Amino acid sequence: MAPGSAGFHNDDMQNTQVVIIGAGPSGLLLSLLLQRNGIDSIVLEQRTRAYVEARIRAGLLEQQTVDLLDEAGAGERMNRERLVHDGFEMAWGERTLRIDLEGLAGKRVSVYGQTEIQHDLAEARHRSGGDVRYQATDVSLHDLESGRPRVRFVHGGTAQEIQCDFVAGCDGFHGVSRKSIPASILRTYERIYPFGWLGLLADVPPLAEELVYVNHSDGFALCSMRSRTRSRYYLQCSLEDNVAHWPDERFWEMLHSRLPAVHQAHLKTGPSIEKSIAPLRSFVSEPMRHGRLFLAGDAAHIVPPTGAKGLNLAAADVRVLYRGLVEYYRNQHRTTLLDEYSQRALSRVWKATRFSWWFTTLMHRFGDDPFGRQMQNAELDYISGSRAAAQAIAENYAGLDFDV
């Protein structure tokens, strides 16, 4: 008996065109875009809807991601509540430099929390009558190299099986999708950073109108926001650190000390709503396709949050994938875009991974490394006097154009 086959019978077989593993932003966004183009899908999610929506994640959106959420019919509240930014600030010592995104790259970015995006996508999918099965466990993928893959899982205490044309793996770094690609085929590339980010969420006005990235001798800091009354702050910390060692008072004191004097007086403090520590890594797996399985988002790649690329890369994957699926179903099973999916997606992934790695290396403290510190200072000094260097930052930060 094949692995995962116990309890399954032909009478249990269900059918759909696309099975999507994972009901995070990429999975729900893909399901909505497919539905709007007449393509059926079933979404399987291991966790509850409440659990998925409660996860605290990034909140900086490229305009192309905003456009894609609009295209999916999930952008109404976002367009009312998002904060549109024309630039951001970099600070080191007592020096500051504003990167003018609109002036240098002709683009803007939006601040709108991923928690809100997740809620909006789930509501849109629910209103549309879409089939999303939360708490689907023991998921396994079968016959991926055939014309009709099968997905097995347990839902509501019952073993079930779905036959489909394609499987979209949107189930994150720890999900089953990437693990279903044979080890002989899969190649992975990884860089683990020797520090983490301690994040604090508080209902206090933001430090500034735009994000402020700080390079300080004690470590990196980021002053961000979720709205005009809710702020998100980060401090570079040790991977061995613990949230319990960081009462609010200590966090605010350390953040204040890392800010240039021009910003210190504007820092508003208050009780934290949420506090957590996240490790930083760069990770890319290739290829992003195996047979009828396509990986998207964190299932295929992870970037450190410094460049705000995680959610935006997932959206870029979804855009290429859904257009390939639309081409397949509208044009007599033509597979041009599907065959090019991995190459097109990875081209953007590697460019975003490079920028995120570069920005992380530039702004963080890497132990006691006097040479590295001088290189950071020289790079920041160069950027402050070079329009070309600042323009390259603006183009990458605001988002490179989609390939398709």
- DSSP E strands in 177-316: the ranges are 187-202, 212-215, 221-225, 231-237, 272-286, 289-290, 293-295, 301-302
397 is catalytic: yes
| Residue of 234, 322, 341, 397 marked active site | 397
| Residue of 85, 216, 263, 364 marked active site | 85
User: 236 Cβ partners below 8 Å, 6+ apart?
Assistant: 195, 196, 197, 198, 219, 220, 221, 364, 365
Between the CA of residue 307 and those of 21, 28, 360, 399, what are the distances in Å?
26, 24, 8, 10
85 is catalytic: yes
Please give the helix or strand (H or E) that residue 325 lies within, else none: helix 310-330
Q: Write the DSSP symbol of residue 112.
A: -
Q: What is the DSSP string of 338-401?
A: HHTHHHHHHHHHHHHHHHHHHHHHHHS--SS-HHHHHHHHHHHHHHHH-HHHHHHHHHHHH-PP
| Residue of 142, 216, 263, 309 marked active site | 309
| Residue of 25, 206, 304, 305 marked active site | 305
169 DSSP β-pair partners: 21, 295
Q: What does the block give as tokens for 274?
A: 């949420």
305 is catalytic: yes
| Residue of 149, 193, 206, 213 marked active site | 213
213 is catalytic: yes
- DSSP E strands in 216-361: the ranges are 221-225, 231-237, 272-286, 289-290, 293-295, 301-302
Three-class secondary structure of residue 169 per DSSP: strand
Active site residues per annotation? 85, 213, 305, 309, 397
